[in-house]
Structure 1
Amino acid sequence: MIVGVAASTAERVRLARLLGGADALLLVSNAEQARAFFELTGTAPRIVTAPETPQIKAVPEPIAELRLDVERRVVRWKDRELPLTRLEHDFLHCLVAEPGRVWTYQRLHHAVWGNEHLGHGSHIHSVVKRLRQKLASLGAAVTIHAVRGVGFHLLPAT
């Protein structure tokens, strides 16, 4: 059995894709949930941690200064921070994880909402609008840029 611990829905979806071929897979949002599971089953887990994925490309400085606190679901720019909703956090987490990469509407929808339904996309645009406002109110030098008909990516503000 493989137990994946990831705070955000986007991270759990990513783990599910990576480990989908496992015979048994349990995805939880924190270590306490995993401990509770093993206490209920009466088994002792063997803990293996995955190495961090190395950053291949240099991240533009303004984007590198943007911080997400996954435990508290806040976005931080320099000495200021603002709370995020789960959707805002998971959406921004995708963009921050791969700065500059264009995330398609479909890929974002799957990572954040966990399904393939796109509908008319107004819910995605609503999250983007709120995130842009929050980033601007922090004075962050980054913004969410729309790629018409494709999706979004995080770029230094111009």
Structure 2
Amino acid sequence: MRGIPVASMVIGIASSPAARRQLAQLLGGTEAFLIVSSVDQAREFLGAAETPTAETTVETMQTMTVDVAPATVASPATPALVIDSDRRVARWLDREIELTRLEHDLLLCLMGAPGRVWTYERLHLKVWGNKHLGRGSDMHSVVRRIRRKLATLDASATIDSVRGVGFRLASA
């Protein structure tokens, strides 16, 4: 099969909407991915009833699945920085801080793709749910509070500003 391009796709299985959102953030840098809520849906997508190789693929995928605690995201660039969405706290090593809803949502976005620049417009749409940017002071205020909170944790993760564009999560 030389010369035939091979396309890759990741299929994720997550039963709850929160787990599917988390999985989508973790897979955000992946070229192509599909998230389904059950193994049956994955089998249906792969056409497992007609092709035994697809069923084998699903079974292999199940054994290779990494368990992720629901609503907890750890950033690959900063492995010790963890957000517990159920309790709305950020944890660095053995210390934690409480986050407001906006702080939580904004930090969760940035942690979903560490090092990647999130534009002001995209962050505003994802966190506030609308395209209105105004002067952007609302976003800058939230980022300032998160920076202070990360500093109180002595976390090596920082939020960098990209002038005129947006923000990115960086680790020192």
Normalised by the length of structure 2, the TM-score is: 0.59
Match of 2:76 in 1: 59
| Residue identity matched to 2:76 | V
| CA–CA separation in structure 2 for the residues paired with 1:4 and 1:71 | 13
Match of 1:143 among 158, 161, 164: 158
| CA–CA separation in structure 1 for the residues paired with 2:16 and 2:123 | 21
Higher relative contact order (CA 8 A, sep 6+): 1
| Residue identity matched to 2:38 | V
| CA–CA separation in structure 2 for the residues paired with 1:117 and 1:4 | 30
Match of 2:17 in 1: 5
Match of 2:149 among 134, 150, 155: 134
| CA–CA separation in structure 2 for the residues paired with 1:109 and 1:4 | 25
Pairing 1:117–2:132 present: yes
Greater than 3 Å deviation, 4+ residue runs: 49-53
Pairwise CA distance, 1:6: 2.3
Match of 2:170 in 1: 155
The secondary structure found in structure 2 opposite 1:125 is: helix
| CA–CA separation in structure 2 for the residues paired with 1:131 and 1:152 | 12
- 1:51-95 deviations in whole A, cap 9, x for unaligned? 989xxxx933xx121100011010000000000000000000001
| CA–CA separation in structure 2 for the residues paired with 1:75 and 1:131 | 10
Pairwise CA distance, 1:4: 6.5
* Bigger Cα Rg: 2
| Residue identity matched to 1:59 | P
Pairwise CA distance, 1:142: 1.0
1:67-86 to 2 correspondences below 5 Å: 67-86=82-101
The secondary structure found in structure 2 opposite 1:119 is: coil
| CA–CA separation in structure 1 for the residues paired with 2:123 and 2:80 | 23
Gaps of 5+ in 1: 16-46
| CA–CA separation in structure 2 for the residues paired with 1:144 and 1:122 | 16
| Residue identity matched to 1:75 | A
| CA–CA separation in structure 1 for the residues paired with 2:166 and 2:16 | 28
Q: Percent identity?
A: 55
Gaps of 5+ in 2: 1-14, 26-36, 43-60, 67-74
